[in-house]
């Protein structure tokens, strides 16, 4: 029994020694782990810097179209025709004196502008047909206003208010930009008339 125990102990001890040698050999041969180096800082040149409010280039705003007397007169005489034609059509549709009374005034407004065109050899753009316009924007506006004003008398009155407010705005802009005295004089008369018409429509609204 003692001999067998001694042999067994020797075998175990040998195994421990061999295991220790194996572990030591493994550790000796294992590559040493080196912590990853911190990434190198990337130099930022002024050209690569993010844009700021100081470095951004602001595009120049587009210049507004320059005022031109000829263009203004061509537009304004057709704008007066638009008011006249809308009031004729809606006045017949709703049998309203509000429109009928203003129609004659709108015809007078056109006749005030017509001599200004003639004096400058500008061809009159007006059609003799009701509801027909040379200016495509005014044609589209006429069609829209008639469609709206045809729904009810109340809406027709609102159309009248809209027309006169637009006339007042456009005439005010033209008067401020115009430097020809005869044109300014006529436009001021048209402006006063539009202000009176606006009051008439607002009383019916």
Structural domain of 188: 69-204
- The CATH number given to whatever domain includes residue 83 is 1.20.1260.10
58 in any annotated domain: no
Q: Are 149 and 90 in contact (CB under 8 A)?
A: yes
Q: Which pLDDT score is estimated for 65?
A: 75
Q: Tell me which residues of the chain have a pLDDT lower than 70.
A: 1-64
Distance CA(11)–CA(134), nearest Å, equals 117
How many domains are there within the chain? 1
Determine if the pTM surpasses 0.75.
Answer: no
Please write the tens of the pLDDT for every residue from 120-144: 999 999 999 999 999 999 999 999 9
Comparing CA positions, the residue from 169, 161, 171 lying closest to residue 197 is: 161
Instruction: Please report whether residue 86 resides in a domain.
Output: yes
Q: How far apart are CA 106 and CA 145, in angstroms?
A: 17
- CA distance linking residue 125 with residue 78, whole number of Å: 7
Q: Has residue 110 been placed in a domain?
A: yes
CB-CB neighbours of 91 under 10 Å: 19
- Residues 6 or more apart in contact with residue 142 via CB below 8 angstroms: 82, 85, 86, 131, 133
């Amino acid at each position: 029994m003692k001999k067998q125990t001694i042999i067994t102990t020797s075998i175990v001890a040998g195994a421990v020694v061999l295991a220790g040698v194996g572990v030591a050999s493994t550790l000796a041969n294992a590559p040493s782990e080196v912590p990853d180096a911190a990434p190198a800082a990337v130099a930022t040149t002024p050209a690569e810097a993010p844009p700021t409010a100081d470095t951004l280039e602001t595009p120049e705003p587009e210049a507004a179209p320059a005022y031109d007397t000829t263009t203004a007169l061509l537009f304004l005489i057709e704008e007066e025709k638009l008011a006249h034609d809308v009031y004729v059509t809606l006045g017949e549709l709703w049998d309203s004196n509000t429109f009928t009374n203003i129609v004659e005034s709108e015809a007078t407004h056109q006749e005030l502008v017509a001599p200004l065109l003639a004096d400058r050899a500008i061809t009159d753009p007006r059609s003799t047909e009701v509801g027909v316009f040379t200016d495509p924007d005014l044609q589209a506006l006429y069609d829209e206003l008639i469609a709206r004003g045809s729904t009810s008398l109340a809406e027709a009155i609102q159309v009248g208010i809209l027309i006169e407010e637009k006339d007042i705005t456009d005439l005010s802009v033209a008067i401020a930009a115009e430097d020809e005295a005869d044109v300014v004089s006529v436009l001021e008369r048209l402006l006063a008339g539009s202000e009176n018409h606006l009051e008439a429509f607002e009383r019916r609204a």
